[in-house]
Structure 1
Amino acid sequence: MKYTNDAKQIISLVGGNDNINTLIHCMTRLRFTLKDESKAKTSEIEKLDVTIKVMKAQGQYQIVIGNKVTDVYDSIIDLLPRLAAEDQGSKEETNKTETAEEKPQGFIATFKHGYDEFIGVLTASMMPIIGVLAGSGITKGILAGLVSANLLSDKSGIYLLINTMADTIFYFLPVILGFTAAKKLGSDPIALAVIGAFLIHPNIIGIAANKVPEVSLWGDFAVKIMNYSGSVFPIIVAAWLGKYVEKYLKKAIPEMIQGIFVPIIEIIILSFALLLVVAPIITVLSKGLANGISGLLAFNGIIGGAIYGAFYPILVVFGLHWPLIPIVINDLAVNGQSVICALTSITAVGIAGAVLAVAVKTKKKKFEALGYSAGVSALCGISEPSLYGILLKYKKVFYMTMIGNALGGAVAGGMHLVIYGFTGSLIGFPSFINPKAGIDSNFTAYVVSHLVAFVAVFVLTYLFGYSDKMVSSDQEV
């Protein structure tokens, strides 16, 4: 089996077969009861690639594995079949105890627990596609570089086809996330994928592009439609609601017709829930944030730049950054330049600094590979692999990124940085060259602000934001 070697090492390091009384597992942990816990070599167990952390609680020696826990458990059972003959009641009792132990108390604790659960689902849903996201981002960056160097026309057939291939993962993100999030949360993956497809159906996209993007349902009651292509938050909410809707429907609908009616009714209910509840909330929050950001930047460039640089990644996570795009497009069309887009460029470069620092510092090959690929993608302007692959999983890395990006944003605001095109980050440097005056103080501001963000985030992350010892459950967001 895939984890046979890991299983052998774990058995040996907990003191061998003779030292193990029982073994059960929950959602993320192997739970041993050992005859003598002093024989377990905790520090060596924590160095294993498959191990996140070791904990001791409730008379158990617990090894935190994460999503692979079932596979590792099965590999151990293959080696030690006697452990499979445990009383099922002990498993249930352990899970009940764990639930009671981890149940949050109070509003703040409950809110934090809910937020942590949401981020956990979000990152787990994104992880299967991080590699494709990173590769697509790098591809788009290479294409942009070739176009900037006049080596390839953005009107050519080869550009059109390859750029479309690279765009596909982003465009169909709601479909893919619907499937992966549903698997994570226990709802119907196919039904959620269909809901994701509904959100980006040409009819929906077409309505969203109208001057009045709304559909009348009955009388004067109309629902506003937004462009969901590339969105993350709505479909995650749908996947979370899905498990409750399915549970209710399976109780209400006779078993013989559940296969036909449960999925379609679930699709209808959740789709309307997104359109009538989730979308309006996102729209109101997004527009408020967009107006607030524009006003803050106009009031004080340094403070506005710092705040925008620090918090923009959070807007991306919750899908609240989309209303900024019309502002950017309008600025470029009317004024020929944009401040908001320039600051967004800085955040991508800062994020690249964070994940590249992780790649340089880590001794874990999977993080090294992810860090380098996600870093290159961010330098090409695509930061999602970095956000969902590393930053959201490790809160200190995220905090260091916020600090470094705030510094870069403040410098950009103080130097009045603008962008003259839509493509930023490292690969989009030509967009910062003044089309009338050529290389001037604005390009200097581009170099300085982006360098400040990159270096600050890299150094802060390397020194304070990440170490391989942090790869544990209590260090993850």
Structure 2
Amino acid sequence: MNNQELAEAILKEVGGKKNIQNFTNCMTRLRLQVKDENKVNQKAIEQLSGVLGTQLQGTQVQVILGGKVLSVANEFSKLVPINNSGGQEDDSQNKGGISHVLNTLSAILTPALPPVIAGGLMKGLIFMFINFGWADGASDTIIFFNGLADCMFYFFPFLLAVSSAKKFKTNEYIALALAGLLMYPFAIADGQQFIQLFGIIPIAVVNYSSSVLPIIFSVWLLSHVLRFFTARVPEMVSMIFSPLLSLVITAPIAMCLLAPLGYYIGEYLAIAVKWLIDFSPWLAGLIVGGTRPILVLGGMHHAMNPIMQQEVASFGYSQMLAMVLMSTLAQATAPLVVYFKAKKVEEKQVALSAVIPGYIGITEPAIYGVLAKYRGAMIAACLGGGIGAAVSTIFGGRSFGFVMPGVLSIPAFIGEGFLGIVLGIVTTVIVTAVLTFVLMDRFNAKEKKEKKKNTRPLENSDIEAVTAKQVSDLEIQSPVIGDIIPLDSIEDATFSKEILGKTIAVSSTDETIYAPFDAEIKAVFPTKHAIGIESLEDGVELLIHVGLDTVSLEGQGFKLKVKQGDRIKKGETILSFNREYIRSKNLEDAVIVVVTNSETFKTVDKVPELGSIDLQNNLFSITK
């Protein structure tokens, strides 16, 4: 299937042209804003040749395509000639607090990244040429290319003005005018920090070059003000007066309030990240490097881009980007080991096809094609990336430009702390390779070993005894009263594909979660929507997750009865929730129950397929 055929097939399965509100693409995903998500055939899209996976977030369909996304997006634009800045986007299902903010930032930053990534890589190459004596730093040629690289960072507000205007559905050229105001070199006396508007309103004189949030906040305000005047000024003179009135109102508010607010939020966020790194470099590296594959799996990794970009703007370098580089190399190394260890030709081909894009910086093929299938390799990539990032951070590894982390962008990391980059890369590759080699077939090997324990022929009494033991090893009763619902109706690949372990979804009828066994509370999410528990007797680990995307509710609608570290008795109430409140926010309210350590048991079988259940019914039957 070529790119044109793939674009046509995707369009068909998302409901055709009439169901497309607008679309864009990032480095690996085609992001389609649809009018009616019920018309989207997610399963059919995932089965298309060339599609690595899908994510459905509200009315946005993310089709994961890896390195071919740009080619497919170009073909898609021929089929759906939509001006992506036009149309009314239905945010009714995306007003999810933190989730909505992160999605908005990602949509604004992603289109503006290619020139910035190019500039970061160019800065690294320039530094390398000068450092190794291959070029004279004072030469006109180096001065020219250094200016080309710097301008992409210095004038970043102009790039963001365009993408912000598209996201907020407002005029791009008026947005550029606001960016010009932010960058305007006001002639003031040395040491003067404020100018007085109308003689009474102070405007802080701030260097907004390379900044992120000030222009985004300003364009957001512009979109509302311009829309207000466009709807009320007579059409005959609207082209003249609507922009004028909008700028006269927006510019002072932006310069007095929004731009400084965005500037200081970004600055203090960068300072907070640096404080964490200075406080505990190994812990910061371990967290960022170790969780990166999980963020990629959920499509949330772009949320880190503003932080890394702000690091570069504030300090001239990014340590977090060095951590992400280590995780990227870990995600590419694990499939390489899988290629050598896999026995089936098809599995080898899939693994090998993920290696080169992974080392370049595109890790979705590795995540969805290999690591999601081989859980041991996923664990190895998380640990290898985390340990490598910790080593890199301890020795001061950093990037001097915002780049797509991969082997081709290593020149951007050359400079102070490059020893940390080298040590981090070596550590990442070795640890990931060793762990993948050890963990990939660990559970299969365990089964084979158990099968070889008894070589004598089994008698009938032996068979009966073994069968009885397997049946009665361990039964996990339901923590929910309600009705089993089909897993394929859950629109989240992490749960519907049972990536975390054996999974059952239940529609609760009494809005209460009970302890299915005597257990210890191992994890309680701050937003109260999910709890991790571990059986005191058998070590079974359960994740009980209420709803989808309910993290966006920030705890509203949930009443937590326990805290982390508590020991609870079977039947004790753990959590209650308001199903109607969840539904009022257009969110799924199903209770997801996952055996997160399924791989440590010989078998984990789901007892009921469908039907009503109560606390006396078993959900899982486990053989040790």
- TM bucket, shorter chain: 0.5 to 0.7
Please say if 1:229 is aligned against 2:178.
no
Task: Quote the Cα distance in structure 2 between the aligned partners of 1:11 and 1:314.
Answer: 27
Match of 1:89 in 2: none
Kindly indicate whether the alpha-carbon contact (under 8 Å) linking 2:195 and 2:205 is maintained by their aligned counterparts in 1: yes
Match of 2:173 in 1: 190
Match of 1:439 in 2: none
Match of 2:329 in 1: 353
CA deviation map 1:299-330 (0-9, x unaligned): 655556767989999676056537842xx8xx
Match of 1:152 in 2: 135
Letter in 2 for 1:431: E
Instruction: Give the SS at the match of 1:187.
Output: coil
Task: Quote the Cα distance in structure 2 between the aligned partners of 1:254 and 1:49.
Answer: 51
1 or 2, which has the higher helix percentage? 1
Name which of structure 1's ranges 251-260 and 310-319 shifts more when overlaid on structure 2. 310-319
Task: Quote the Cα distance in structure 2 between the aligned partners of 1:33 and 1:157.
Answer: 59
In the TM superposition, residue 248 of structure 1 has moved relative to its aligned partner by: 0.9
What does 1:369-408 align with in structure 2 at a 5 Å threshold?
407-408=387-388
1 or 2, which has the higher strand percentage? 2
Task: Quote the Cα distance in structure 2 between the aligned partners of 1:355 and 1:197.
Answer: 41
Match of 1:177 in 2: 160
Instruction: Give the SS at the match of 2:416.
Output: helix
The change in CA–CA distance for 1:210 and 1:406 in structure 2 (over 3 A counts) is farther
In the TM superposition, residue 249 of structure 1 has moved relative to its aligned partner by: 1.1
Q: What is the CA RMSD across the aligned residues, in angstroms?
A: 5.9
What does 1:42-81 align with in structure 2 at a 5 Å threshold?
42-43=43-44, 46-47=47-48, 53=54, 75=79
Instruction: Give the SS at the match of 1:150.
Output: coil
Letter in 1 for 2:107: V
Please say if 1:119 is aligned against 2:113.
no
**Higher RCO (C-alpha 8 Å, min separation 6):** 1
The change in CA–CA distance for 1:303 and 1:406 in structure 2 (over 3 A counts) is same
The change in CA–CA distance for 1:348 and 1:247 in structure 2 (over 3 A counts) is same
Match of 1:25 in 2: 19
Instruction: Give the SS at the match of 1:431.
Output: coil
Kindly indicate whether the alpha-carbon contact (under 8 Å) linking 1:29 and 1:64 is maintained by their aligned counterparts in 2: no
In the TM superposition, residue 24 of structure 1 has moved relative to its aligned partner by: 3.5
Letter in 2 for 1:240: W
Task: Quote the Cα distance in structure 2 between the aligned partners of 1:314 and 1:11.
Answer: 27
Task: Quote the Cα distance in structure 1 between the aligned partners of 2:11 and 2:279.
Answer: 62
Instruction: Give the SS at the match of 2:97.
Output: helix
Match of 1:335 in 2: none
Letter in 2 for 1:152: A
Instruction: Give the SS at the match of 1:160.
Output: helix
CA deviation map 1:221-269 (0-9, x unaligned): 5222322222222222233333211111123423222111222332333
Name which of structure 1's ranges 147-156 and 221-230 shifts more when overlaid on structure 2. 221-230
In the TM superposition, residue 154 of structure 1 has moved relative to its aligned partner by: 1.3
Letter in 2 for 1:134: I
Task: Quote the Cα distance in structure 2 between the aligned partners of 1:176 and 1:162.
Answer: 19
CA deviation map 1:28-76 (0-9, x unaligned): 2386999xx9xx8944664255897498x9xxxx987699999859849
Task: Quote the Cα distance in structure 2 between the aligned partners of 1:400 and 1:317.
Answer: 28
Task: Quote the Cα distance in structure 1 between the aligned partners of 2:380 and 2:197.
Answer: 47
Kindly indicate whether the alpha-carbon contact (under 8 Å) linking 1:182 and 1:189 is maintained by their aligned counterparts in 2: yes
Letter in 1 for 2:239: G
Task: Quote the Cα distance in structure 1 between the aligned partners of 2:303 and 2:12.
Answer: 43
| Identical counterparts, % of pairs | 18
Task: Quote the Cα distance in structure 1 between the aligned partners of 2:221 and 2:105.
Answer: 16
Instruction: Give the SS at the match of 1:47.
Output: coil
Letter in 2 for 1:47: L
Kindly indicate whether the alpha-carbon contact (under 8 Å) linking 2:196 and 2:202 is maintained by their aligned counterparts in 1: yes
Task: Quote the Cα distance in structure 2 between the aligned partners of 1:459 and 1:192.
Answer: 51
Task: Quote the Cα distance in structure 1 between the aligned partners of 2:166 and 2:120.
Answer: 26
The change in CA–CA distance for 1:12 and 1:122 in structure 2 (over 3 A counts) is closer
Task: Quote the Cα distance in structure 1 between the aligned partners of 2:206 and 2:149.
Answer: 23
Kindly indicate whether the alpha-carbon contact (under 8 Å) linking 2:213 and 2:266 is maintained by their aligned counterparts in 1: no
The normalised TM-score by structure 1 is 0.57
The normalised TM-score by structure 2 is 0.46
Q: Which has the larger radius of gyration?
A: 2
Match of 2:231 in 1: 251
Match of 1:321 in 2: 311
The change in CA–CA distance for 1:406 and 1:152 in structure 2 (over 3 A counts) is same
Instruction: Give the SS at the match of 1:235.
Output: helix
The change in CA–CA distance for 1:135 and 1:165 in structure 2 (over 3 A counts) is same
What does 1:287-298 align with in structure 2 at a 5 Å threshold?
288-289=268-269
Gaps of 5+ in 1: 15-19, 78-91, 105-109, 329-340, 376-385, 434-442, 465-472
In the TM superposition, residue 272 of structure 1 has moved relative to its aligned partner by: 2.4
Letter in 1 for 2:325: V
The change in CA–CA distance for 1:263 and 1:342 in structure 2 (over 3 A counts) is closer
